[in-house]
Amino acid sequence: MSDKIRINGLFLRTIIGINHDEREHKQDVLINLSLSVDTRPAARTDQIEDAVNYRTITKNVIDLVENSRFFLVERMADEIARLCLRDSRVDAVRVSIEKPAALRFARSVGVVIRRTRADV
């Protein structure tokens, strides 16, 4: 499917990392999502019931991330992907997570994953 819903620049704070100070203090993470969906039903009817509700997905991602205590960004990305794929109309998702200032001299460090229904 070539249709995409994009959620860009979700800036959240969470416990993430393996070092002692990372386990004690929340850090910033920047999340971008690209959901592969078929937007034709919503386009035909102009009804929210026929659309993927990206507001609900975003609220669920915020709740997951802000209340998590993951050690690895890879795990966080995978859990976010699984959450997005709970909506049966989402065929695949691309999750990008960055930790600003995680490395000295680097603006950010992060991962990008893509998951499909077959992956979960």
For residue 71, give the nearest of 32, 19, 29 by alpha carbon: 19
Q: What is the domain partition of the chain in residue ranges?
A: 4-114
Give the tokens for residue 37: 């969906």
Q: How large is the average pLDDT for residues 51-78? A: 97
In angstroms, rounded to a whole number, what is the distance separating the alpha carbons of residues 29 and 24? 15
Is 4-114 a domain of CATH 3.30.1130.10? yes
**104 pLDDT band (50/70/90 cuts)?**
confident
Residue 25 has pLDDT above 80, yes or no: yes
Q: How large is the average pLDDT for residues 80-98? A: 97
pLDDT score of 1: 56
Give the tokens for residue 75: 């795990």
Residue 99 has pLDDT above 90, yes or no: yes
In angstroms, rounded to a whole number, what is the distance separating the alpha carbons of residues 23 and 55? 29
Residue 46 has φ and ψ, to the nearest 5°, of 60, 35
Mean pLDDT of the chain: 95
Residue positions annotated with a catalytic role: 99
3-15 confidence digits (pLDDT tens): 999 999 999 999 9
In angstroms, rounded to a whole number, what is the distance separating the alpha carbons of residues 43 and 65? 31
pLDDT score of 24: 94
* 108 alpha-carbon distance from chain centroid: 17
